[in-house]
Structure 1
Amino acid sequence: MKRRTFLMTGLSALSLQALANSEKKKIAFIGDSITFSGGYIDYLSEKPEISSKFELINFGKNSETVSGLSEAIHDPRRPLLFDRLNSILAEGPFDICFLYYGINDGIYSPFDPKRFKAYKKGIAKAVKIIAKTGAKVILLTPTSFMETGMKPNGGLALDSYSYKKPYFKYDSEVISKYAAFISNYKSSQVFKTIDTYHPVLGNSSISFGKDRIHPLPAGHKVIAETILKEIDWSGL
């Protein structure tokens, strides 16, 4: 009898937890490896004003782009968001979707107008698809790339560069432009844009280690604190 009571109590607790989760608004974080690592999402989830009202779901994927581009040496090719976006959205409905791309989309080479156009086209396509579901779309700029201390390596063919051999001015000449595009994005389908590029750049000494692409935990904290500051969570 005691065992049955214990099991019933446990099931009741699980049912209450499931009910509580079902009443929370669902937030999808869609992005590349920076999102997949989840540091900034974990930091956000620790805030009572967020955890009490929202269920945060991580849909990050390593190496992914919205542009469909990939380095010549990348085997297999970089994954493309649109190969899985519909399946992500099928797990909703989501009240809010964060979209966080760009660091991979420049393919770590010097600025190229065709590649930039592919990125802009991919962002617009993703925004349109997500907005049709009724979710609020929040765009995050790509974070900065740590180019400090790199040796000059300009003048090579575009396909000579990759994540293993990035262009030495990939941040100042490429990612800065991608970030500016997101910051200035104008669309009735976008609820808000948030600049994570400059806060991370301004804290680059603590945000990066030997890895010039993926922020350290301190960098993820900078990203999360920027998101916290830019959004009125009580009003969502």
Structure 2
Amino acid sequence: MRMTTLRIIPVLLALFLAHAMGGEPRIAILGDSIPYSGQWPALVEAALRQTPAYRHAEIVSMALPSETVSGLSEPGHAGGAFPRPCLHDRLDSILSKYAPTLVIACYGMNDGMMQPFSESGFQAYQQGMERLKKRVEDAGAQFIAITPPPYMADTPEKDAARYNQVLDTYAAWLASRKKDGWKVVDMRPELGRQIREAKKRNARFIYAGDGVHPGQEGHFMIARAIWPPLASILRVPVRVRFPEGDEFRKALERHNLYKLAWLTETGHRRPGIPKG
């Protein structure tokens, strides 16, 4: 334990000094339980670190399970234990304490609460995303929005609420904002293609066993869908190598260590998150 602590201290000191001097980009990844798992964000972090512009950047996920930008929560969420947290309750703390130069945000899966489309819910999502973009840019940071991944991709026949079509609507609106100067990564077409191809190769392939949270291969698919358009926006090389095996495990471990530390530092209202 002592040796581990001694190894970590110089890393933390270096990151603190870079932060204080403003010498390197500082990227915050925001979202819900899917990016909170750390897998696709750790892969995107690894890709960014292979580019000269972001090799020494601070890259931290502060995604939070159950979170929305809409501020909506269905009755009895989590068995009545707590309502869905809203990003806007903690965004000021993230922007002031972490001071990102770039915010990458992926919301939508929770915002419609897995219920049929409603105009009021759609408007709450739109207003939440617009508010997020404005607050990020007012803080002097760049903002990139990512569309939500699919719902019930393995069993669309069980999607009685047609919720994946709700997410299609949310994603189409986000993509349409490009004409207004928004920077948007639409993962859905390419991710859908990868899922279909995987099922052709192996009829037993499952993207997300519960209809929401992808398995590890699903996270690799998300990273492969996100990276090319993200690299284009950031004007960095598209050709990178995602870590695999033990290299990926170590990258994920480090990524999640910093995630929990910054979630604790910036604060949130979601029960059940380990302290960092």
TM-score (norm 2): 0.68
Q: CA deviation at 1:207?
A: 6.5
Are residue 181 (structure 1) and residue 173 (structure 2) matched?
Answer: yes
Q: Runs of 5+ in structure 1 lacking a partner?
A: 1-6, 153-165
Q: CA deviation at 1:219?
A: 1.9
Q: 1:197 aligns with which of 188, 199, 208?
A: 188
Are residue 34 (structure 1) and residue 27 (structure 2) matched?
Answer: no
Q: Using the alignment, how far apart are the partners of 1:187 and 1:132 within structure 2? A: 20
Are residue 220 (structure 1) and residue 219 (structure 2) matched?
Answer: yes
1:147-196: CA deviation from partner (whole Å, max 9, x where unpaired): 543556xxxxxxxxxxxxx644211x211101111111147673x10001
Aligned 8 A contact 2:44 2:227 in 1: yes
Are residue 100 (structure 1) and residue 93 (structure 2) matched?
Answer: no
Counterpart in the other structure of 1:170 = 163
Q: Runs of 5+ in structure 2 lacking a partner?
A: 1-5, 200-204, 238-276
Larger helix fraction of residues? 2
Counterpart in the other structure of 2:252 = none
Return structure 1 stretches of 4+ with deviation > 6 angstroms.
10-14
AA aligned opposite 1:73: G
Identical aligned residues as a percent: 31
Matches within 5 A, 1:55-66: 55-66=58-69
Q: CA deviation at 1:227?
A: 2.8
Find the residue that maps to 2:177 and give its secondary structure. coil
TM-score (norm 1): 0.79
AA aligned opposite 1:85: L
Aligned 8 A contact 1:26 1:96 in 2: yes
Pair member with larger Rg: 1
Find the residue that maps to 1:185 and give its secondary structure. helix
AA aligned opposite 1:193: V
Find the residue that maps to 2:97 and give its secondary structure. coil
Relative to structure 1, the CA distance from residue 225 to residue 25 in structure 2 (aligned partners, 3 Å threshold; closer, same or farther) is same
AA aligned opposite 1:27: I
Q: CA deviation at 1:106?
A: 0.9
By relative contact order (CA 8 Å, sep 6+), the higher-ranking structure is 2
